[in-house]
A = this chain, B = another copy of it.
Amino acid sequence: MPSDAQISRLKPGRRTDIRRENERAILEAAEKVFAEAGFGGATMQLIADMAGLPKANLHYYFATKEDLYRRVVQQIFEIWLDAASSFDDAPGPIEGIGAYIDAKMDISRTHPHGSKVWASEVMHGAPVIQDYLETTLRDWTNGRIAVIQRWIDEGKMKPINPRHLLYLLWATTQHYADFGHQIQTLNGGKALSDRQWAEAKASVKDMVLRGIGAIS
């Protein structure tokens, strides 16, 4: 059940700002509601309440529930793609994969809702972002596999399967967002502290980098 904390929403006078500000508030509320209730369980009324707008006003900015949902999914996808820059200009796996883990873990902490919406979307067969998987994500994946393979050829890491390394990285980093509730419960009901997050990041980096033979 989504908490009923309302998303802050300013009321600027200028026309362009009104549109930008309302769309931002709606998207922020929608991300949270879709994450906590799923697409089918989410209601436009609840999103409207959390954004501090009447429901009819939502449909003025986003024609349908699907439109709104699609925007939320695209948002987290773009954030993840940006985080991939850490990968490119790195001299080796310690820097590249280490920075990628840092970036993905940071996103799991700052954007847990978006991560859950993405997970839910994929679990349901990616009905709205299938084309992204087949184009952008596939290209991105093949590019990183090539980079990892180069590091292997250069003897900077063991000859592991680059594809399954990527899956392990995605799975582990996103787990801290998608299964955050389970982790919190196993942490005595308390959210991970700054120190515990740092410990998590260090642990993941340590195990992964040793697992691929980049460190001993």
A29 and B203 CA atoms in complex are apart in Å by: 40
Q: A123-B116, A168-B204, A211-B207 are in contact. Are A186 and B40 (CB under 8 A)?
A: no
A203 and B158 CA atoms in complex are apart in Å by: 12
The chain B residue with its CB closest to the CB of A211 is B211
Taking the closest CB of chain B, its distance from the CB of A35, in whole angstroms, is 7
The residue from B38, B174, B182, B209 contacting A120, defined by CB atoms under 8 A apart:
B38
Sorted nearest first, the 7 A-B pairs with minimum C-beta distance are: A40-B41, A211-B211, A40-B40, A171-B175, A164-B203, A207-B211, A38-B38
The residue from B122, B181, B182, B207 contacting A168, defined by CB atoms under 8 A apart:
B207
The chain B residue with its CB closest to the CB of A115 is B123
The residue from B42, B161, B182 contacting A40, defined by CB atoms under 8 A apart:
B42
Interface centre among A35, A126, A186, A209 (most CB of B within 10 A): A186
Residues of chain B within 8 A (CB-CB) of A170 are: 175, 179
Count of interface residues, chain A, beta-carbon cutoff 8 Å: 57
Residues of chain B within 8 A (CB-CB) of A141 are: 186
The residue from B35, B41, B119, B134 contacting A178, defined by CB atoms under 8 A apart:
B119
The residue from B134, B137, B186 contacting A137, defined by CB atoms under 8 A apart:
B186
Residue A1 is within 8 A (CB to CB) of chain B in the complex: yes
Q: A40-B42, A41-B38 are in contact. Are A123 and B120 (CB under 8 A)?
A: yes
Residues of chain B within 8 A (CB-CB) of A122 are: 178-179, 181-182
Residues of chain B within 8 A (CB-CB) of A39 are: 38, 40-41
